[in-house]
């Protein structure tokens, strides 16, 4: 547990450094907040995203937080992951659409990967 906590603190410091050095670009204020899946039959029923107004954020699916710096541009969401495991993409690009309290994310790297989230 101490190792996970230390990793979380280290990743959080990296995110803060990236934000302070201007790595974030345009931020869509409508995205700021917490968004969760909440489907009982879903593979990750407790998955949620937190988008902070300073461009930092994280997602959680039960395997520990995935910390990132986020930015938006013309309907695209870019996540620069601070603690991406070896073999996984560090930068992800998603097409996003917000309709009221519903967020739809479409992953650009894998065809057919579309997820819905709800504002909390």
Please give the average per-residue pLDDT across 10-28, as a whole number.
Answer: 58
Backbone angles phi, psi at 45, to 5 degrees: -65, -25
**What is the residue range of 26's domain?**
2-119
Q: Is the pLDDT of residue 11 over 70?
A: no
pLDDT band at 21 (very low <50, low <70, confident <90, very high): very low
Question: For residue 89, what is the domain's CATH number?
Answer: 2.40.128.50
- The number of domains in the chain is 1
Q: Is the pLDDT of residue 24 over 50?
A: no
Neighbour count for residue 40 (Cβ, 10 Å): 6
Average pLDDT, the chain: 82
CB-based contacts of 9-12 (< 8 A; 24+ apart in sequence): 10/83, 11/65, 11/67, 11/82, 11/83, 12/67, 12/82
Q: Which two tokens stand for residue 17?
A: 């450094």
Cβ atoms of 20 and 69 closer than 8 Å: no
pLDDT band at 67 (very low <50, low <70, confident <90, very high): very high
pTM of the model: 0.73
Element (H, E) at 84: none
CA of residue 22 relative to chain centroid, distance: 18
State pLDDT tens for residues 35-51: 998 665 556 667 899 99
Angle in degrees, CA 110, 30, 15, rounded to 5: 65
């Amino acid at each position: 547990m101490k190792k996970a906590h230390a990793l979380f603190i280290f990743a959080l410091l990296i995110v803060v450094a990236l934000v302070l050095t201007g790595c974030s670009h345009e931020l869509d204020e409508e995205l700021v907040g917490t968004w969760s899946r909440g489907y009982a039959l879903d593979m990750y029923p407790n998955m949620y995203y937190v988008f902070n107004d300073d461009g930092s954020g994280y997602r959680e699916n039960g395997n520990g937080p995935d910390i990132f710096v986020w930015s938006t541009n013309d309907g695209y969401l870019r996540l620069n992951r601070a603690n991406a495991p070896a073999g996984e993409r560090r930068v992800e690009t998603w097409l996003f659409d917000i309709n009221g309290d519903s967020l739809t994310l479409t992953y650009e790297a894998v065809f057919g990967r579309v997820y819905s989230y709800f504002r909390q």
